[in-house]
Amino acid sequence: MARKRTTITMEVTRFRPGEDSEPTLQSYEVPLRKEWAVLDGLNHIKDHLDGTLSYRWSCRMGICGSCGMTVNGKPQLSCATFLVDYAPGPVRVEPLRNFPVIRDLVVDISDFMTKLPKVKPWLIHEGETPEGEFLQTPQEMDEYKKYSMCINCMLCYSACPVYALEPEFLGPAAIALGQRYNLDSRDDGDRRDVLASAEGVWACTFVGECSTACPKGVDPAGAIQRYKLTAAVAALKDFLLPRGARR
Amino acid sequence: MSAYRQPVSTFWWLHQWSYLLFVLRELSSVFVAWFVVYLLLAVSAIADGPAAYQDFVAWSGGGWVLVLNVVALAFVLLHAVTWFALAPKAMVVPHVPPWVVLVGHYLAWAVLSAAVAWLVLR
Amino acid sequence: MTAFHNIVVVGGGGAGLRAAVAIAEANPLLSVAIVSKVYPMRSHTVSAEGGAAAVIAEGDTIDEHAYDTVSGGDWLTDQDAVEAFVEEAPKELLRLEHQGCPWSRRPDGHIAVRAFGGMKKKRTWFAADKTGFHLLHTLFQTSLSCSDIVRYDEWFVTKLLSDEGRVHGVVAIEMATGRIETIIANAVIVCTGGCGRVFPFTTNANIKTGDGMALAYRAGAPLKDMEFVQYHPTGLPFTGILITEATRAEGGWLLNKDGYRYLQDYDLGKPTPEPVMRSMELGPRDRLSQAFMHEHAKGRTIDTPYGPVVHLDLRHLGAQVIDTKLPFVRELCSKYERIDPVKELIPVRPVVHYMMGGVHTDINGATPVEGLYAAGEVACVSINGANRLGSNSLPELLVFGARAGQAAAEYVRTLQKGSTSAAYAQGRDEERRLTKELRKHDAGTERIADIRTEMQTTMEDGAGIYRDGDSLDKAFVKLHELRERFDRAAVDDHSTTFNTELVALLELDFMLDIAQSIVACAIKRTESRGAHQRTDFPKRDDEKFLAHSLVHRPNKVEYLPVTITRWPPGERVYGR
Ligand SMILES: Cc1cc2nc3c(=O)[nH]c(=O)nc-3n(C[C@H](O)[C@H](O)[C@H](O)COP(=O)(O)OP(=O)(O)OC[C@H]3O[C@@H](n4cnc5c(N)ncnc54)[C@H](O)[C@@H]3O)c2cc1C
Ligand code: SF4
Ligand code: FES
């Protein structure tokens, strides 16, 4: 007789530096409820089964970017990925790939935090700031809007084989955020020195997995491709035109 | 604190279809290079006169060169198709939907190929 | 270990980032640090959806914004603070625009504004329905250009160092390593946000545990108006995820189980197809949440496994409006409820959302403790009075974050050199306490989660939308018992690396203080006003209670008169 399953097995990575030499998997049985995200399963473990499990979370609504994990091999926001979609299980929850593991499911993202300021992710405006607002039509906003949607969740870095092999690579989100300002009609900044460097767009060989992994539709792969063309055209202009005629 | 560095497995590129495709595309550069060499050999054979050219054609039709060229063609096509697929991402033209950019590229390719064919076969 | 900064800002949300930048601008020579238990861009400001109010549209006036705020707050607002707030809010939002915030636009390129609950005019700026997200990321990314600001990311502050009524810094734990550090500072600005997690069902993120309120309270600063907890009328059942008021501003309707727009029965106006300002679905949050309770009592709500709900109907808005103005709402509904609001009704119920009360500050964010400042949701200036109007909080973060930053910079400039030896000693004591705490809880018998859950249900049952003397007294006794049980809480995790169980313990410790202060204030206020509704005292009593509650540790309540400048107390009229 087929009875509806009421629980699901979660296999969770455990790693405590000093105590474990490498990560291991630990299994827990958690209730399988229609509404439960993978994160609810982890919270159940933490609250009722094993208080020593560590992971990051905050908003539980897919906007703070804290809760990225590898769920059954794919980078996901654990608060926006649901247990029922993995039934009957088991569902395997591991830390995000391509980052050092600090503990259990917590990874070290300081590499991204040092790279982010390099692309100058702020508005650079030459000339006077207007008394009121800068005018910007909805069409002008559409130019950069999707690149401004990045929640810094790091799923794209986790999906990117170039980042895995070449840790110097600025990476999808940082480049997309540079492009976000480049394409803003209010911005006059020049980010070419960073974006068009060897660690910038040219390191990308277009795997495209970053855009597939992105939960917010940012399309970092598109941002990178687009900037490659911009950078190539700019380099060509530098080569062909006398200094004064460039812009 | 000693964080654990997750190793990259040697066969990471087999874990996902998109990764494999990516590695194959990287590999295609070798075959693009081969085509360049092959073209140079053809030019040199033509320059050396009809006899040399006949030898070159015979060599090309034989066993391994033919196989190599078929494989190379597959890789070069893979490269071209994936390259074109990127074009609409790189070239964002206002008021023009991405598929138009894509079709435009294929059209340009067809026209160019036709022109070359006309030149050669005329 | 010790470090030194002129000013330490605790918290990297909207208020904290604004304060830090204000200090750097006021005096670039000062050393400023932001200490935050999560990376700044993870702060809960990120989840604000609907918008930020400030007068910019033609035909709107500063005075109208002030009046809406004062009457919305049921006259418990300090009107001098409100006047400063409405005056400075537009400048702050423009400043963000100049920094690149993608505010939604009209076709001509000017800022667009939308309607919001309790506001007489359209004045809420928005960035689709991810306003807080864009606001926070703009502030954070802009702060990266200011390399003088030192950041302690993922450091948890456990204590404010204070001696003889003056603050000297903080003690914090670096989560990644477990390192405990004494950070000496001439001034501290607390910007730690709200405390929604004291309740079981809330829109607030996991980090909103009232830490800063408890830190300041323990350092001798009184808390103000803690009995005023805002319930937002439209949260998704089970998760408590917010469905923004902007849904109703764009024309959404609230329907009971018979498909009837029930708000018309609660003195909120007559239903019209188009939204009308300060009427029906655009009434203030306290009144809407209370109306839900009455519908429930009449048996006109719909039962679900996660409590009674009513329906929010957006279907008549159409896919076009929903996708351009409310895309996140559609995304949230499809993810968390598996419904499409273009075609289906959204189940919603009132949910704890915002803390009107907080650390008592003056109009410049200064608390009565010398050198201690507070801004943002953690503070109570008070512009929100007994009920905050939606979209007033985001501009509040900016206006009072900036003011607190400037005031702290000025304070540090004029500061006489004092001795910090007491602070060092306190730092060492705190370090010892934390280490001992871990060991003490080794033999514990109570689960942290159990105590927390019981605290939350106690608050909901005793100090919910409607409360009375009886329910509050019971809650007070229960909280006392929970405090005792807390001493026996177990900590199974003894690792120094990213020990989130220790963090949960410290947060619960803070929350228990806050819960008690809420109940203590609510017991004493024997009237009904705004979000504080006593069934045993259903009338507003200006005679006795046109005053802020000030609660000192432990739970000693006194009153401070409200500042009235131009708007004498009157009746709150909506829909008429
Ligand atoms: C879902 C939702 C939607 C909202 N929508 C709107 C809206 O549309 N319009 C509006 O005006 N308002 C809205 N609000 C209210 C508004 O967003 C909040 O009041 C405001 O964002 C609070 O900002 P803050 O800077 O005070 O705190 P937060 O953004 O919460 O930041 C708190 C900071 O303090 C730090 N911190 C806390 N404790 C510690 C500690 N012990 N040690 C170190 N650091 C610590 C945290 O790491 C964090 O950086 C909404 C609120 C919610 C919950
Ligand atoms: S680009 Fe997408 S996947 Fe990458 S960090 Fe930003 S939101 Fe996450
Ligand atoms: S918890 Fe915030 S994105 Fe998942």
DSSP A143-164: HHHGGGG-----HHHHH-HHHH
Give the relative orientation of helices B98-121 and B63-90 as an angle to the nearest 10 degrees: 140
Average pLDDT over residues B71-90: 87
Q: What pLDDT, on the 0 to 100 scale, is given for residue A244? A: 60
CB contacts, 8 Å: A221 with chain B: 89
Q: Closest chain B residue to A144 measured between Cα atoms?
A: B92
Q: Which of C5, C248, C278, C296 is catalytic?
A: C248
Q: What pLDDT, on the 0 to 100 scale, is given for residue B99? A: 87
Nearest atom in ligand 3 to the alpha carbon of residue A65 is 3
Residue with structure tokens 């699901």? A8
CB contacts, 8 Å: B1 with chain C: 176-177, 497
Please say whether the beta carbons of C339 and C243 come within 8 A.
Answer: no
CATH superfamily of A7-107: Beta-grasp domain (3.10.20.30)
Please answer yes or no on whether B18 and A229 come within 8 Å at the CB atom.
Answer: no
For C257-271, the DSSP string reads TTS--GGGGGTS---
Contact with chain C for residue B2, Cβ under 8 A: no
Average pLDDT over residues A219-234: 93
Tell me the whole-structure pTM to 2 decimals.
Answer: 0.95
**Alpha helices (H) along C387-499:** 393-413, 421-440, 448-463, 469-486
Residue ranges and CATH numbers for the domains of chain C are: 231-352 (3.90.700.10), 442-554 (1.20.58.100)
Give the relative orientation of helices B63-90 and B50-61 as an angle to the nearest 10 degrees: 80
C401 close to ligand 1 (CB < 6 Angstrom): no
Q: What pLDDT, on the 0 to 100 scale, is given for residue B96? A: 81
Average pLDDT, whole number, for chain A? Answer: 94
Size of the A and C interface in Cβ pairs below 8 Å: 155
Contact with chain B for residue A54, Cβ under 8 A: no
End-to-end, the C-alpha distance of chain B in Å comes to: 73
Can you tell me the distance from the alpha carbon of B57 to that of B100, in angstroms, rounded to the nearest whole number? 40
SS3 call for C339:
coil
Pairing of strands C180-190, C166-174: antiparallel
Please say whether the beta carbons of A111 and A169 come within 8 A.
Answer: no
Q: What pLDDT, on the 0 to 100 scale, is given for residue A245? A: 58
What is the architecture of the domain spanning A110-245? Orthogonal Bundle (1.10)
Contact with chain A for residue C103, Cβ under 8 A: yes
Please say whether the beta carbons of A191 and A181 come within 8 A.
Answer: yes
Subunits that touch chain B (at least 3 Cβ pairs < 8 angstroms)? A, C
Residues of chain A with CATH 1.10.1060.10: 110-245
Residues of chain A with CATH 3.10.20.30: 7-107
Query: Which residues in C469-495 are b (16+ Cβ under 10 Å) and which e?
Result: eebbeebbebbeebbebbeebbbebeb
Q: If you measure from the C-alpha of residue C42 to the centroid of ligand 3, how many angstroms do you get, rounded to a whole number?
A: 9
Phi, psi (deg, nearest 5) at residue B49: 105, 170
Give the relative orientation of helices B63-90 and A220-240 as an angle to the nearest 10 degrees: 90
Q: CB under 8 Å to C357, separation ≥6 — which residues?
A: C223, C224, C225, C226, C227, C228, C229, C380, C518, C521, C549
Please say whether the beta carbons of A76 and A38 come within 8 A.
Answer: yes
Enter the CATH code of domain B12-90.
1.20.1300.10
Q: If you measure from the C-alpha of residue C6 to the centroid of ligand 2, how many angstroms do you get, rounded to a whole number?
A: 35
Query: Which residues in C347-366 are b (16+ Cβ under 10 Å) and which e?
Result: bbbbbbbbbbbbbbbebbbb
List chain C residues with pLDDT less than 70: 1
Can you tell me the distance from the alpha carbon of B20 to that of C513, in angstroms, rounded to the nearest whole number? 57
Please say whether the beta carbons of C21 and C100 come within 8 A.
Answer: no
End-to-end, the C-alpha distance of chain C in Å comes to: 62
User: For C47, which of A61, A129, A135 is closest by C-beta distance?
Assistant: A61
Q: What pLDDT, on the 0 to 100 scale, is given for residue C43? A: 98
Provide the 10 A C-beta neighbour count for residue A24.
10
Q: What pLDDT, on the 0 to 100 scale, is given for residue A3? A: 58
Beta bridge partners of C302: C309
Q: What pLDDT, on the 0 to 100 scale, is given for residue A191? A: 96
Q: What pLDDT, on the 0 to 100 scale, is given for residue C458? A: 98
Please report which confidence band the pLDDT of residue A1 belongs to, taking 50, 70 and 90 as the band edges.
very low
Q: Which two tokens stand for residue C367?
A: 């608390």
Q: What pLDDT, on the 0 to 100 scale, is given for residue B98? A: 84
Contact with chain B for residue A100, Cβ under 8 A: yes
Judged against a pLDDT cut of 80, whether residue A43 lies above it is answered with yes
CB contacts, 8 Å: C142 with chain A: 122-123
Average pLDDT over residues A171-184: 97
Q: What pLDDT, on the 0 to 100 scale, is given for residue A246? A: 52
Residue with structure tokens 């935050």? C36
Query: Would you call C232 a catalytic residue per the annotation?
Result: yes
End-to-end, the C-alpha distance of chain A in Å comes to: 74
- Percentage above 70 pLDDT, chain A: 96
Give the residue with greater pLDDT, A224 vs C440. A224
Q: What pLDDT, on the 0 to 100 scale, is given for residue B1? A: 55
Can you tell me the distance from the alpha carbon of B76 to that of B32, in angstroms, rounded to the nearest whole number? 6
- Percentage above 90 pLDDT, chain A: 88
Beta bridge partners of C109: none
Please say whether the beta carbons of C169 and C423 come within 8 A.
Answer: yes
In single-letter form, the type of residue at position B74 comes to A
Cis peptide leading into C341, omega within 30 of 0?
no
Provide the 10 A C-beta neighbour count for residue A114.
10
Query: Would you call C248 a catalytic residue per the annotation?
Result: yes
Please answer yes or no on whether A98 and B91 come within 8 Å at the CB atom.
Answer: no
Judged against a pLDDT cut of 50, whether residue B114 lies above it is answered with yes
Phi, psi (deg, nearest 5) at residue C547: -155, 150
Ligand 3 pocket test: which of A46, A56, A60, A109 has the largest number of ligand atoms within 8 Å of its C-beta?
A60
Q: Is the dihedral of CA C532, C534, C538, C544 positive or negative?
A: negative
Q: What pLDDT, on the 0 to 100 scale, is given for residue C193? A: 98
Contact with chain A for residue C435, Cβ under 8 A: no
Q: Which two tokens stand for residue C314?
A: 């957006």
Q: What pLDDT, on the 0 to 100 scale, is given for residue A5? A: 72
Ligand 2 pocket, residues with Cβ under 6 angstroms? A 150-156, 172-173, 176, 213-214, 216, 218, 220
